[in-house]
Amino acid sequence: MADKNARSGVGPVVSAAHLASGAMPELSEVEYALIIASNAMQRWTVRCMTASGLAGLTAMEVQVLHSVNHRNREKTLADLCLMLNIEDTHLVNYAIKKLAEQGLVETGKLGKEKTVKITAVGEKACEAYQHTREALLVESVQALGFDPEELSKSARLLRAVSGQYDQATRSAASL
């Protein structure tokens, strides 16, 4: 497909042709796909949670809520930031504060570290989200006939590439 686009003069599908003009235009294709997927995912999480009966949460708050609910274990603020690869702890802390105000999570302390755990209300919200997700997203993705192992392989690739972005970020910070 990339060869056909190159022959037609269209080139790779990217957000910025000048970034694709270097040694690896395929990486620019991945970056554009990540931008589109990230924005679609954020829109979806907000709309899915609203359709599940809990309106007014941001995508970050929905992500934090699901992460707190993950495996039904208390998490620290540092755990959540690490899980979500978020450097600015105040963003996650603010999301926790808003979720706590709505009774979806409760906070505590482990030494000096802030901890968070899911409440029964938060767990119900996550269950409602899961049911909505199954009905509206999972069924339609399954109908596309994607091989589940290929989806897992793609996820592993994206996690590996994210590590390269993290390393490049550290290098850029040292310039």
Range of the domain at 160: 2-164
Domain total of the chain: 1
Who contacts 45 (Cβ-Cβ below 8 Å, separation ≥6)?
59, 62, 63
Task: Kindly report, residue by residue over 49-78, the tens digit of the pLDDT.
Answer: 999 999 999 999 999 999 999 999 999 999
CATH number at 66 reads 1.10.10.10
- State which residues of the chain have pLDDT below 50: none
Amino acid occupying residue 34: L
pLDDT of residue 79: 97
Question: CB neighbours (10 Å) of residue 143?
Answer: 8
pLDDT of residue 43: 98
Structure tokens at 35: 């931008």
The answer as to whether 50 is a domain residue is yes
pLDDT of residue 11: 75
> What's the number of CA atoms in the CB half-sphere (13 Å) around residue 161?
12
The answer as to whether 169 is a domain residue is no
The answer as to whether 32 is a domain residue is yes
Residues in a beta bridge with 107: 116
pLDDT of residue 69: 98
The dihedrals phi and psi of 64, each to the nearest 5 degrees, come to: -65, -40
